[in-house]
Structure 1
Amino acid sequence: MMKFSAILASICFFFWTCSVPPESVAKKIFAAHGGANFEKVQEIGFTFVVSTPEKELVRRSWIWFPKTAEVKFTEGEKEIKYDRSRLQESDQETEAKFINDSYWLLFPFHLLWDKGVLLSYDGAQPRPDGSGPLRRLSVKYPAEGGFTPGDMYKVYYDSEYKIRYWTYHKSASEEPTRGTTWEGYSVFSGIPLSLQRKGPGGTFQIRFENVSIKP
């Protein structure tokens, strides 16, 4: 006979009616994407590519050394090296690009890295692209500070706490500003990363190429 606790867990899984602490969800998403293994990372490299069906819009390459805060940046013929712990005025534009590009790749870790975010568990929700349902965690940033103050993300994740879709809400708007799938997971040194994101109707795509992680 199934125990009462197992029955309750089953009810929670299928009907999503049980109260779930959002901080617990954030920790599980962090863990499912190899958060514990990121502490060992000495170097991570990737190329951030944005394209539409007609053309490629962005191609930027990065090598980040988390332990020393050093960053190497390449875009076309431009090559820049800087130290994130000692930012100069001339580094601000490159740092903004790094934050954007690395955030797309490493968002699951920001759930625990970023301070002052407001988390809320929304239960089962249909994916905006029509499939699902998946469970959803909303992540709202403080109104001040950072590069995108007051923005919100709604994260759709599966039963293994892997992200499968997300929407971005500029200034916490009710309607999403942008949404993409999370596809093409590959594992690097125990860290699963989604390497492909697709916008609605194939309007745009984000890819991560030349990904490497050295522990």
Structure 2
Amino acid sequence: MKFIYANLFVLLLLLGCNNSSKKIADENLNEVLITKDSLQNLDIRYKIANANGFENWKNVSELAFTFNVDRDQNHFQRSWIWKPKTADITMITGNDTLQYNRAKMDSLIEKADAAFINDKYWLLAPFQLIWDENITITEKEKVIAPISKNVLNQLTIVYGNEGGYTPGDAYDFFYDQNFKIKEWNFRKGNIEKPSMTTTWEDYENFKGIEIAKTHKDSTNNFQLYFTNISVKTETEN
């Protein structure tokens, strides 16, 4: 049975909504071309983004995906079609379809856009490390990952207290030697104890964009995953 479950919906909107105040153009950043020769000189955000195909983002004209959450016996989903070069968004939930442009929003659209920002953050968090502003960054080497207990490196970002839907929040990214994210913490309001911790797994390449399709918590009672992913590039249009 499919339905919107209020507490879960609120929780999901608390995750990954910090970049709502960013300029739309930043999602089309083409200036930063990352090569193997320059990789060692980049800060860790670019290394993680590049490991997920950031250099190919400039070619993407359309990205479609379905955002799914299973918690216990409850299921929630919504689908998106995003054209990043024009900022056109289509949201599909049940039998309803909403279309809008992120450069021309009003108060009625903001709730839908908050959902889009959240779902996009889960999908493309490695790129958000580059797109998002007003963040502070700290790094740690060889820490124990919260779920797997593997030894990984840690990048922590904390958002500023102004702007976005959830200002002041923090994320701990645990990544391997190949700069691929394996787990993360979300910490609301930068509190010490994680508000949520999940895996990053089931990576798949879509036209050069690496996406972790599945995220699970330590109990396996919560699973967030993506289906119906498709990427179109400029040469296909």
Specify the TM-score bucket, using the shorter chain as the normaliser.
0.7 to 0.9
2:103 to 85, 108, 116: 85
2:160 is the alignment partner of 1:127: no
Q: CA deviation at 1:125?
A: 0.8
2:88 is the alignment partner of 1:75: no
Q: Provide the residue aligned with 2:45 in structure 1.
A: 26
* Residues 1-215 of structure 1 mapped to structure 2, 5 A cutoff: 24-56=43-75, 58-215=76-233
Letter paired with 2:174: Y
Aligned equivalents of 2:195, 2:182: Cα separation in 1: 18
Q: Provide the residue aligned with 1:13 in structure 2.
A: none
Give the SS at the match of 1:202.
coil
Q: Which blocks of at least 5 consecutive residues in structure 1 are unaligned?
A: 1-20
Q: CA deviation at 1:77?
A: 1.3
TM-score normalised per structure 2: 0.80
Percentage of identical aligned residues: 37
Q: CA deviation at 1:131?
A: 2.3
Aligned equivalents of 1:142, 1:171: Cα separation in 2: 10
Aligned equivalents of 1:182, 1:116: Cα separation in 2: 25
TM-score normalised per structure 1: 0.88
How much is the aligned-residue C-alpha RMSD, in angstroms?
1.4
Letter paired with 2:44: V
Aligned equivalents of 1:59, 1:85: Cα separation in 2: 25
Aligned equivalents of 1:42, 1:128: Cα separation in 2: 36
Larger Rg: 1
Q: CA deviation at 1:199?
A: 1.1
Aligned equivalents of 1:130, 1:35: Cα separation in 2: 27
Q: CA deviation at 1:39?
A: 1.2
User: 4+ residue stretches of structure 1 with deviation over 6 A?
Assistant: none
Q: Provide the residue aligned with 2:25 in structure 1.
A: none
